[in-house]
Amino acid sequence: MKRLVTLLFALAITASLSLAAQEPAASPAAGDKKVAKAEKKEAKAAEKGKSLSLTGWIKDQDGKTMFINDKDKQAWSIANMDAVKGHEGHHVKVKAKLNEADHSLNVEKLSMLRKGKQTAEEKQKEEKK
């Protein structure tokens, strides 16, 4: 009798764990709301011609230097390349005016973020060097 109860208990635990593993994790809708909010804020600033502070990465894509926004992962072309010269591959904070028409930004101020703000991917690249 004791063996039967132990066996049934083990079977119940195994079944409940397998059912719990099949449930999806937290819904990605929360991330979508943040992206939508960031895009709305960018569009509003561009419409009014106001400067906006953004954090992201300066990266080369297809031979062009681009700013990749942290919040919505959008790539923006940079109108004034001299402002970001030498910062390719760096995590930066920029104050810029956005131009929604050609999806570019005009950098007014740029500051590098400290090393602790870099992603794990960038830290691994540095360790390999």
> Tell me: the pLDDT tens digits for 35-66?
788 778 888 877 888 888 899 999 988 888 89
| Higher pLDDT pick, 22 / 44 | 44
> How many domains does the chain contain in total?
1
Instruction: Please tell me the distance from the alpha carbon of residue 129 to that of residue 125, in angstroms, as a whole number.
Output: 7
For residue 13, tell me if it sits in a domain. no
User: CB under 8 Å, gap of 24 or more: what pairs does 95-100 form?
Assistant: 95/51, 95/52, 95/53, 96/51, 96/52, 96/54, 96/67, 97/45, 97/46, 97/49, 97/50, 97/51, 97/52, 98/42, 98/45, 98/46, 98/52, 99/46, 100/42, 100/43, 100/46, 100/47
For residue 43, tell me if it sits in a domain. no
CATH number at residue 102: 2.40.50.140
For residue 30, tell me if it sits in a domain. no
Q: Kindly indicate the confidence band of residue 6, based on its pLDDT and cuts at 50, 70 and 90.
A: very high
- Residue 36 to residues 28, 30, 39, 58, 113: CA-CA distances in angstroms? 13, 10, 5, 22, 25
pLDDT at position 127 is: 57
For residue 100, tell me if it sits in a domain. yes
- For the entire predicted model, the pTM comes to 0.62
| Higher pLDDT pick, 78 / 32 | 78
| Higher pLDDT pick, 16 / 28 | 16
For residue 40, tell me if it sits in a domain. no
Structural domain of 90: 50-114
pLDDT at position 15 is: 81
For residue 104, tell me if it sits in a domain. yes
> Tell me: the pLDDT tens digits for 72-128?
888 889 999 888 888 888 899 999 998 888 888 999 999 988 776 555 555 555 555
For residue 81, tell me if it sits in a domain. yes
pLDDT at position 95 is: 93
Longest Cα–Cα distance of the chain, Å, equals: 81
For residue 67, tell me if it sits in a domain. yes
DSSP three-state, residue 43:
helix
